Structure 1
Amino acid sequence: MTNLVPIGRALISVSDKSGLLDLARALAAQGVELISTGGTSGMLRAAGLKVRDVSDVTGFPEMMDGRVKTLHPAIHGALLALRDDDEHLLAMAAHGIEPIDLLIVNLYPFEATVAMGADHATCIENIDIGGPAMIRAAAKNHRSVAVVTDPADYQPLLDQMAAHNGATTMAFRQKLALNAYARTAAYDAAVSGWLAQEINCPFPRHRAFGGHIAQKLRYGENPHQAAAFYTDGTRREGVATARQWQGKELSYNNINDTDAAFELVAEFDPGTPACAIIKHANPCGVATGGSLTDAYLRAYDCDRTSAFGGIVALNRALDAATAEEIVKIFTEVVIAPGASDEARAIFAAKKNLRLLTTNALPDPRARGLSFRQVSGGFLVQDRDAASVTEADLKVVTKRAPTARETADLLFAWSVAKHVKSNAIVYVKDGATVGVGAGQMSRVDSTRIAARKSQDMAEALGLPGPLTLGSVVASDAFFPFADGLLAAAEAGATAIIQPGGSMRDDEVIAAADAAGLAMVFTGQRHFRH
């Protein structure tokens, strides 16, 4: 049963006025009576449309700077009344309430206001009250009322009315109601999340997350999994805010890996060119250099095999010389805070290569939350925004690291933060030369990274492993000396690790015996 409901009266009250006049004119042409509020009413009237003010319907003027205008039985009764319930109809008649068949409301731009960095008072004034109340009322009564909360639904509404002689079907109203409740839920999530941050209460009794669909994906991690990409309105620079210049539609894995790559490369000040190459959310090469091209080539030389089909992230605008090098192998995505016209022209010949640019790098020290679903719930934590400086390092061995070793240790520590645990990162002269990720044993990660370094050295025609003369970062402490000794066997000369093991004394003694310098950070970077 289609349950057609003709639209005779519409209440329009919108903050986002895009497409409003075309919609209102189309409704008026079909004989729909228009009711409106404040600025919306003024805009419609200025366009020559006949419109009735909400204050005429309620008998009360807008008051308290517009905070109170639609919160009235004449409005909510008109939205909530069941048209097939005699008692409801009698109540409407007794109080002079006329039904409203269509509600068109979009909310005060709270999320955008917060994203712009507005002050507390401005954010408070952009919390919509009457809008969500009306939306929820109309959505509850979708058996009789159509509710539109997004300009994207204006044309589908008009198409629906054209197909059904000015009426809407139950199936259409149900879809609109779903969109309406999802919108108010996401809006309330944004408000509660902002307030929790304002009063420094990261873990309130109830925690909600909301988002707006940005892209329906072809599939998820695997072809049998459906997926979509949602943005949360926080405007954190990255894949969610990026402009895609060319290439195929991003996949679920592309988005996940591109985010990982851009967050990693943002650790490095753009004053020094840096490049990160990611494969399956793990870095297979990270480097700084005298130029962006140099940084890319040094990152590529860490693990050329894994770099094939990877994601490249840069910490400054892509230039032509770097673009020429990148297109020599198959790359899925390149993301950077800008790209020259020449670089884009070079990429244009590779139609499947996605190029994304942003306005800036994400702030690696910015506050924020991350969450992960588990069976029956989800885990929430602060985003890992921790970092260390040279002043934070505690030398625990007889030999202190040299200035060069210290620079490489800090570089390795920044990379290890973005490698799946157990993470081991070998670095030499500002470039990774071996990465061991996601192993169940730390010593296995150490040996795998060293073995890959040996393989890469052979491919480059070098006499020894790339790890000779390198330093090593471990995202968590060495529980035994075996992992440290494996790093020493690979040619490492210095170690950075959190410390805190019951066997720290044993590990320190082994480092001293091997002539290694070792520093403790006092913090770890597990990444699961």
Structure 2
Amino acid sequence: MRALISVSDKTGIVEFAQKLSNLGVEIISTGGTSKVLKDAGIKVIGISEVTGFPECLDGRVKTLHPNIHAGLLAIRSNNEHMKQLRDLNIKTIDIVVVNLYPFKQTILKESVDRQTAIENIDIGGPTMLRSAAKNYQDVAVVVDPKDYDKVIKEIENSKEVSLDTKFYLCSKVFEHTAHYDTLIATYMKKERRDIGLPETFTMTFEKVQDMRYGENPHQKAAFYKEVNKNKGLLASAIQLHGKELSFNNINDTNGALELLKEFDEPTVVGCKHSNPCGVGTANSIYDAYIKAYSADPTSIFGGIVVANREIDKRTAEEINKIFIEIVVAPSYSDEALDILKSKKNIRLLKIENIMTKQDENSYDLKKVAGGILVQTIDSKLLPYGSELKKVTKKQPTEAEMKDLIMAWKIVKHTKSNAITIVKNGQSIGIGPGQVNRIWACKQAIEHAIEYLGKDSLKGACLGSDAYFPFPDCVEAAAESGITAIIQPGGSMNDIKSIEACDKHNMSMLMTDMRHFKH
């Protein structure tokens, strides 16, 4: 039995090769791997001894040779194949242990240049893996050091690797090479930056964790992350306390984080079931939390709190007054951590660079039966280079402008149909996910009245994620005391909404951009 070993990740390879050698397996190896094995006292046959040809082109060509690939691809039960090997004086190779040049590790380095990335594209390795895996019934091919023990135990017990295990190893090979090739293709697309939505769509992800269950207990689930630098994203979070996150925790927290990234000033977002339930901005994170909490103290219970400043002792004490599932922040004071950790079940996440946004060319994916919908992320808040249209006789005040922009930020990240109401840097009413816009408007108004009182609506600002097909939302807003509105515009009935605003001495801005979130 002969094994060909050539690995970039040398984890456990000396011990594995030594055990193979002790079992009577001849070891063929290349380059750096060969040196490591020889230095460990393991007898190694150099690749050039097998090919009869020296490694060349700075090691670019080592294993691309018939003496290697014929030894891998020959079907042992095919008499003609075996006769040809004998005639050509080629020996079979029964085990292949290969993992590939560290392309991923290379592109994740800061400021890596294109040529360095390309030099770390493996050619011979994937070719050997595919040859061996295609002939899996005769060749055991190992790409993952975690499988070394399994292979050794089977050879020790049965003098060979079982067919079931060979097929398992074969399937891992094609997962491995598909992942590797997709990393390269994704890198090339990003380098081009003009690719848009390609004719064929491939992405690759790496598992972060298996989940206890999915959206519901009867569904299986796992969390995977994209292979990139992941700065400021949930996939890069460090969990400081609490049990592992669930499927719904991750989904809901991600939505809250994306909204948080819209704000530069100290801000807290409370989230429940993927919708914001309270948002506050202030001069301190404590005051921002108080605003977010008081906006909807019912919904925030059992919800998620994300903040873009350090959580201090005073804020932690307020958070601990109710049950919160998850707190996310860029940092925590030592006192705040001690306070929050006093609750066993709260999850505490730290995300450095929490305000780092995704690349605007990143993709948003939605799975449908039999297919997938792909779009670039909704990275814009307002159209580039465009001014907000002030379409009413009354113009918004400076204070109203701030609240209108805040309402627009929140409504962008609220499920459609969506209405948000803001006053003095605080969301006071949010109407998400309704099947018509007037219901969303009425819901937002009712929430404000329930938690903050009817007077809270006087002088408040309203945001709508899409245009008003009718003036009914304007009429409802005016009746409640709201004085300013921001909406995309674009309806054939825009003039009716504008006239309704003028009638009630309200101001209205149109953005020429909608933000549906489905």
The Cα offsets for residues 421-442 of structure 1, whole Å up to 9 and x where unpaired, read as 1111111122211111111111
Deviation, structure 1 residue 239? 2.1
Aligned partner of 1:225 in structure 2 is 219
The amino acid that maps onto 1:154 is: Y
322, 341, 345: which one pairs with 1:348? 341
Aligned partner of 1:382 in structure 2 is 376
User: 1: distance between equivalents of 2:51 and 2:60?
Assistant: 15
The amino acid that maps onto 2:418 is: A
The Cα offsets for residues 291-331 of structure 1, whole Å up to 9 and x where unpaired, read as 22221221111111111111121213333332222222222
Answer yes or no: is the 8 Å Cα contact 1:426–1:473 preserved in 2: yes
205, 211, 214: which one pairs with 1:211? 205
The reply on whether 1:111 has 2:104 as its aligned counterpart is: yes
The reply on whether 1:392 has 2:387 as its aligned counterpart is: yes
Aligned partner of 2:457 in structure 1 is 467
Deviation, structure 1 residue 383? 0.8
Deviation, structure 1 residue 102? 2.1
User: 2: distance between equivalents of 1:56 and 1:454?
Assistant: 84
Answer yes or no: is the 8 Å Cα contact 2:237–2:350 preserved in 1: yes
Q: Give the paired residue count.
A: 513
Deviation, structure 1 residue 107? 2.1
User: 2: distance between equivalents of 1:338 and 1:22?
Assistant: 42
Structure 1 475/167 Cα, relative in aligned 2: closer, same or farther at 3 Å? same
Aligned partner of 2:328 in structure 1 is 335
Structure 1 runs of 4+ off > 6 angstroms? Answer: none
The reply on whether 1:127 has 2:121 as its aligned counterpart is: yes
User: 1: distance between equivalents of 2:375 and 2:135?
Assistant: 38
The reply on whether 1:154 has 2:148 as its aligned counterpart is: yes
User: 2: distance between equivalents of 1:17 and 1:377?
Assistant: 39
The Cα offsets for residues 438-467 of structure 1, whole Å up to 9 and x where unpaired, read as 11111111111111111112xxxxx52533
User: 1: distance between equivalents of 2:55 and 2:312?
Assistant: 56
Structure 1 242/296 Cα, relative in aligned 2: closer, same or farther at 3 Å? same
Secondary structure (helix, strand or coil) at the match of 2:28 reads: strand
The amino acid that maps onto 1:481 is: P
Aligned partner of 1:246 in structure 2 is 241
Aligned partner of 2:354 in structure 1 is 361
User: 2: distance between equivalents of 1:47 and 1:319?
Assistant: 53
137, 160, 170: which one pairs with 2:131? 137
Deviation, structure 1 residue 484? 2.1
Aligned partner of 1:453 in structure 2 is 448
The Cα offsets for residues 182-223 of structure 1, whole Å up to 9 and x where unpaired, read as 121122222222222332112222111222222111111111
Deviation, structure 1 residue 280? 1.0
The amino acid that maps onto 1:258 is: T
User: 1: distance between equivalents of 2:260 and 2:138?
Assistant: 53
Q: Give the 5 Å matches for 1:167-182.
A: 167-182=160-175
The reply on whether 1:510 has 2:491 as its aligned counterpart is: no
User: 2: distance between equivalents of 1:346 and 1:90?
Assistant: 76
Aligned partner of 2:83 in structure 1 is 90
Deviation, structure 1 residue 39? 2.1
Q: When the two structures are superposed, what TM-score results if normalisation uses the length of structure 2? A: 0.93
Aligned partner of 1:321 in structure 2 is 314
Structure 1 30/419 Cα, relative in aligned 2: closer, same or farther at 3 Å? same
| Bigger Cα displacement from structure 2, 516-525 vs 171-180 | 171-180
User: 2: distance between equivalents of 1:340 and 1:12?
Assistant: 50
User: 1: distance between equivalents of 2:268 and 2:74?
Assistant: 61
Secondary structure (helix, strand or coil) at the match of 1:255 reads: helix
| Bigger Cα displacement from structure 2, 249-258 vs 28-37 | 28-37
Secondary structure (helix, strand or coil) at the match of 1:411 reads: helix
Structure 1 53/473 Cα, relative in aligned 2: closer, same or farther at 3 Å? farther
Aligned partner of 1:54 in structure 2 is 47
User: 2: distance between equivalents of 1:499 and 1:324?
Assistant: 43
Deviation, structure 1 residue 390? 10
| Bigger Cα displacement from structure 2, 98-107 vs 293-302 | 98-107
Structure 1 348/365 Cα, relative in aligned 2: closer, same or farther at 3 Å? closer
Q: Give the 5 Å matches for 1:403-442.
A: 403-442=398-437
Aligned partner of 1:3 in structure 2 is none
Aligned partner of 1:18 in structure 2 is 11
User: 2: distance between equivalents of 1:348 and 1:123?
Assistant: 43
For structure 2, the residue ranges without an aligned partner over 5 or more in a row are none
Deviation, structure 1 residue 87? 1.8
User: 1: distance between equivalents of 2:18 and 2:313?
Assistant: 50
Structure 1 41/251 Cα, relative in aligned 2: closer, same or farther at 3 Å? same
The amino acid that maps onto 1:489 is: E
| Bigger Cα displacement from structure 2, 132-141 vs 440-449 | 132-141
464, 473, 493: which one pairs with 1:483? 473
User: 2: distance between equivalents of 1:70 and 1:436?
Assistant: 63
Answer yes or no: is the 8 Å Cα contact 2:211–2:247 preserved in 1: yes
Aligned partner of 1:5 in structure 2 is none
The amino acid that maps onto 1:513 is: K
Structure 1 24/335 Cα, relative in aligned 2: closer, same or farther at 3 Å? farther
User: 2: distance between equivalents of 1:341 and 1:428?
Assistant: 33
Secondary structure (helix, strand or coil) at the match of 2:295 reads: coil
User: 2: distance between equivalents of 1:155 and 1:350?
Assistant: 41
Answer yes or no: is the 8 Å Cα contact 2:252–2:272 preserved in 1: yes
Aligned partner of 1:460 in structure 2 is none
Answer yes or no: is the 8 Å Cα contact 1:217–1:229 preserved in 2: yes
For structure 1, the residue ranges without an aligned partner over 5 or more in a row are 1-7, 458-462
Secondary structure (helix, strand or coil) at the match of 1:466 reads: helix
Answer yes or no: is the 8 Å Cα contact 2:270–2:276 preserved in 1: yes
Aligned partner of 2:490 in structure 1 is 500
The amino acid that maps onto 1:499 is: G
Structure 1 502/172 Cα, relative in aligned 2: closer, same or farther at 3 Å? same
Answer yes or no: is the 8 Å Cα contact 2:270–2:300 preserved in 1: yes
The amino acid that maps onto 1:241 is: S
Aligned partner of 2:36 in structure 1 is 43
Deviation, structure 1 residue 381? 0.8
User: 2: distance between equivalents of 1:402 and 1:365?
Assistant: 33
Identity across the alignment (%)? 47
User: 2: distance between equivalents of 1:174 and 1:100?
Assistant: 17
Structure 1 23/294 Cα, relative in aligned 2: closer, same or farther at 3 Å? farther
Q: Give the 5 Å matches for 1:270-309.
A: 272-309=265-302
Secondary structure (helix, strand or coil) at the match of 1:240 reads: helix
Structure 1 214/153 Cα, relative in aligned 2: closer, same or farther at 3 Å? farther
User: 1: distance between equivalents of 2:155 and 2:481?
Assistant: 74
Secondary structure (helix, strand or coil) at the match of 2:235 reads: coil
Deviation, structure 1 residue 161? 4.1
The Cα offsets for residues 132-189 of structure 1, whole Å up to 9 and x where unpaired, read as 2222222222212222222333344344445x25532222222222222112112222
Aligned partner of 1:4 in structure 2 is none
Secondary structure (helix, strand or coil) at the match of 2:249 reads: helix
The Cα offsets for residues 107-139 of structure 1, whole Å up to 9 and x where unpaired, read as 223233333352222222222222222222222
Question: What is the root-mean-square deviation in Å for CA atoms of aligned residues?
Answer: 2.1
